[in-house]
Structure 1
């Protein structure tokens, strides 16, 4: 259960102000069809995070717990820094996708592509490696994505303009730093 709760919280915080949240706002304004957008976002997130979690889980079968812990230390510290850098949405790329497909398929494709190599995908790899619980991590990171992005779809621009994004990013960064500390402790005691 810890893997689920930590994964949910970390990803929900990391997603606030992220490019996928901006993408959710753009799609909501473009299509005005929340349910297909949300379902497309959910489907792409499950597939994307399942792949990322499988990579994290797979790495633990070949590396010693100490090596995994030190990789996690470096990765969590990098995430703590990266999360403080605001994301920008590539409008040109996403507009071409929107012209070709409806709201579900556009959301599915756009969210899948936006998540490739994104903070939350990398966090999913790291969390799956740390907790060695693929199911709970993927469920948690998926729920975290939905917690952050569904309100953006449902209430539009309000969610991105009224929340204290800087404070949320700093909080998420501090969580990643504490996770790095926990991983360092595990590496030193392994």
Structure 2
């Protein structure tokens, strides 16, 4: 059960402002929320089942101490990725000849391939021996995060600036990554010089991804646009 909760929470954090959450929010302006959420559920089950299978396969090939270091580095990358944010290309929102649920499922599955939540699922499943709980947790986490974005996105944008959400999520990932590195590397590398060098390098990367090249207000723009569309449809 601990693995389920951990996986769900990490995916919720990872998905805030992620490309697939933005895509779900954009789809909600075209289709019913119920149809979007069913499409997200179907795509997530297939996509994350693949990720869990890959993670478990890698854990059988790579020694666990190396898996932990790779997972730690992955968390740092996910943190920086979260600070930068994502954007949707026009092709991601394009309609096709299928019905709403199939359209959302296909678009979401393709968008999730190589995305940070899928890669994170690979990382945490490689560090776990309970693949079913990881799959259940990541699936529930995706539904919660995308549900928050679709239903409560406009409210959050009015009360909580998007940049705060991204920075809190990014810091959480980097905290777990740093903690895992601390517990995994040899004590020889824990000298003050290496620690200072580590945090200096991390600070530079945070500035580059979180300030210099960050995408600003992507989620809020879509959430507020969705709200206006829904208002127009009810008139």
TM class by shorter chain equals 0.7 to 0.9
Matches of 2:47 and 2:2, distance apart in 1: 21
Distance change (3 Å), C-alpha of 1:8 and 1:159? farther
TM value normalised by structure 2: 0.72
Task: Report matched runs for 1:151-170 at 5 Å.
Answer: 151-154=148-151, 158=154, 161-162=157-158, 163-170=160-167
- Is it true that 1:44 corresponds to 2:40 in the alignment? no
Deviation at 1:172, TM superposition (A): 1.9
Whose Rg is larger? Answer: 2
For the Cα contact (< 8 Å) 1:80–1:173, is it kept in 2? yes
Choose which of 101, 107, 111 in structure 2 pairs with 1:110.
107
- TM-score, normalised to structure 1's length? 0.88
| 2:165 match: secondary structure | helix
Partner of 2:121: 124
Quote how far apart the aligned CAs of 1:131 are. Answer: 2.4
Unpaired stretches in structure 1, ≥5 consecutive residues:
none
Q: Residue 185 of structure 1: CA displacement?
A: 4.1
| Counterpart position of 1:74 | 73
Instruction: Identify unmatched segments of 5+ residues in structure 2.
Output: 187-235
What is the CA–CA distance in structure 2 between the aligned matches of 1:133 and 1:154, rounded to whole Å?
31
More contact order relative to length (CA 8 Å, sep ≥ 6) = 1
Query: What is the RMSD computed on CA atoms of the aligned residues?
Result: 1.9
- Contact kept in structure 1, 2:75 and 2:176, CA below 8 Å: yes
